[in-house]
Structure 1
């Protein structure tokens, strides 16, 4: 269940890219404040390509709200994090030429270069960070909506309801959210 929804949520977050010159912002700059917790430009730069930062702020805000809600519910997400991390695998060796391997390298290599680290190290840290984010989102949505049924027709409908739920959470907290980069 978490593999499907996690991949779906991650895909939604990743492919919402836009255009901006992120060089106008420093890593320590605050991109958003969510109920008093800061999301920095550096955090967004770690997770997303530079040209997607402004479009990814809203997704990061939703993820932070879900995290805060799950923590309020006092739910342990450690098993979900492990499951999601395992579904991402590791950085593929050069000899692996599959479409999935190419996709990972296409994303991870420029991110690693931007951060001045090896792609394998970047991908490991990226999967750890994104697995936590996805686990919080999955846990929050499944607590409210129930578990996703493992049938091919339910995924799109569940995703729609999950996105509505997160949009409602943002709306309920709009006075406690400040987005500082646009």
Structure 2
């Protein structure tokens, strides 16, 4: 059940991300400031393909805000972060022809090339970087609306409630969020 909930929130995280182009910006350009914490183009370039960076801004702002709020509530996700890393940080072997392995390799290869890294190294750092966000998002939503209790048919409703919680959090702190690049 826990993995289903994590998968659901991972899907929600990626739904928050879309598609555009970041050409013309430098890595150090500040995209947004969330309650004093800067998000730069470089931060986004590490996490997303260039053509998706601009549409990833809102989702990244939400993720940063959730992490801040969860830490404020003293939510501890260290164990969950370690579990996610252990479960997902292994770069898929070339002989693995599954669709998931193909997607992971294509994404990691593209990002690694852009960043001058080896795909295996990039993928490990990517999983480490995104695990905290996923764990905090999952824990925060569960703190507010409770753990997912339904069956797979109810997951869409749970995701809608989770997204509502995130949107309410953004609305609560709208005066402390500045987005400079849209």
1:27 aligns to 2:27 (yes or no): yes
Partner of 2:18: 17
1:41 aligns to 2:45 (yes or no): no
1:166 aligns to 2:166 (yes or no): yes
Partner of 1:90: 90
Q: Please state how far the C-alpha of 1:177 moved relative to its aligned partner.
A: 0.5
Distance 1:72 1:18 in 2: 32
SS at match of 1:32: strand
1:62 aligns to 2:71 (yes or no): no
- Conserved? CA contact 2:13–2:134, under 8 Å: no
The alignment covers a number of residue pairs equal to 181
- Conserved? CA contact 1:2–1:138, under 8 Å: no
CA RMSD of aligned residues (A): 1.5
Q: CA 1:5/1:55 → structure 2, altered by over 3 Å: closer, same or farther?
A: farther
Distance 1:147 1:74 in 2: 18
1:5 aligns to 2:25 (yes or no): no
* TM-score normalized with structure 1 length: 0.93
Distance 2:106 2:14 in 1: 13
* 5+ long unaligned stretches in structure 2: none
* TM-score normalized with structure 2 length: 0.93
